[in-house]
Amino acid sequence: MNGVRHFLLAVQFFTRVPVTGRLAAWVGFSPQMLRAAAAHLPAIGWIAGGVAAAVFVAVGAGLPGAAGAFAAAVLSTAATVMLTGAFHEDGLADVADGLGGSASRERALEIMKDSRIGAFGAVALVLALGLKFGLLAALAARGLDVVAVSIVGAHVLSRLAPLFLIRGLPYVGDSGGSKAKPLADAISGGALLVAVLWTAPAVALLLCAHDALHVGAALVALVLAGGWMARLFVRRLQGFTGDGLGATQQVCELAIYLALAWKA
């Protein structure tokens, strides 16, 4: 039953799906439980990706053509933003502001704590969202089933990468004020294995809509994007922050879409 509690705690922490009342009391909370719940972060990708895929297919079926695919990409992304509370997008903007706004490690960390969005953050969000819309529209040209599978797979796999940052890097964020602090302590090997098990069906799902070359390229893109983000954080911050985890998810999701959409 602990696994169910940890999964529901992940839903409560990483989405806006209500886990309240008697159910929340049964689930409970502690920093140790939240660390264990991180193993189910890819499971949140199944939820978010499933919602996004359903919205995309519904809109794409009613609005054919390239313009319809672009509209479907916008609305499906809006659905995930509402579902997650822009959790990862906010991290991307904060990281862009921090690393773009100062060469100093201390100043970068200070900027990242500021909830206000700056020029670098705004530009990063516009570029990331624009690229995402374009890539999803390109995938939609191959069929609604292809883009739906791609969305689910990318959401699941991209949520695995941040866990390797937690496993391998020290936490350098605000220990007192960050909601992500309980996640900062190293994830156990067992928890990481649970996360990998959540992602395995996503790889099988991608193989149903893409050839092995594209799926292999997507996995390579995931590793390269995650490794690049880890190297960036080590070089600039000497570790990771909660915002860095969200930014990593966003970059890895885009890398997967790019690999899947690339013409072989």
Average of pLDDT values for 70-80? Answer: 97
Burial class (CB in 10 A: 0-12, 13-18, 19+), 142: middle
Calculate the average pLDDT of the chain. Answer: 92
What is the structure's pLDDT at 19? 87
By the 8 A CB rule, do 160 and 42 touch?
Answer: yes
- Distance (Å, whole) CA 59 – CA 136: 13
Helix (H, G, I), strand (E, B) or coil at 240: strand
Percent of the chain past pLDDT 70, that is, above it, reads 95
Helix (H, G, I), strand (E, B) or coil at 31: helix
- CA torsion 223-225-230-233 (nearest 10°) is 180
By the 8 A CB rule, do 157 and 222 touch?
Answer: yes
What is the structure's pLDDT at 178? 57
Percent of the chain past pLDDT 90, that is, above it, reads 74
pLDDT single digits (tens) 101-123: 888 999 999 999 888 899 999 99
Residue 180 pLDDT > 70: no
By the 8 A CB rule, do 199 and 46 touch?
Answer: no
pTM tops 0.85, yes or no: yes
- Distance (Å, whole) CA 197 – CA 189: 12
- Distance (Å, whole) CA 261 – CA 223: 17
Tokens of 83: 């579902």
- Distance (Å, whole) CA 243 – CA 13: 15
Residue with the two structure tokens 């959540």:
198
What is the structure's pLDDT at 214? 97
Burial class (CB in 10 A: 0-12, 13-18, 19+), 234: middle
- The DSSP letter of residue 171 is B
pLDDT single digits (tens) 6-62: 899 999 989 999 888 898 889 888 778 888 889 999 999 999 999 999 999 999 999
Q: Give the other-Cβ count within 10 Å of 164's Cβ.
A: 18
- The DSSP letter of residue 182 is G
What is the structure's pLDDT at 72? 98
What is the structure's pLDDT at 140? 96
Residue 83 pLDDT > 60: yes
pLDDT level of residue 175 (50, 70, 90 thresholds): low
By the 8 A CB rule, do 96 and 113 touch?
Answer: no
Q: At what angle do helices 119-140 and 144-158 cross, to 10 degrees?
A: 140
Closest by CA position to 155, among listed 15, 13, 3, 9 = 15
pLDDT single digits (tens) 202-260: 999 999 999 999 999 999 999 999 999 999 999 999 999 999 999 999 999 999 999 99
Amino acid type, 195: A
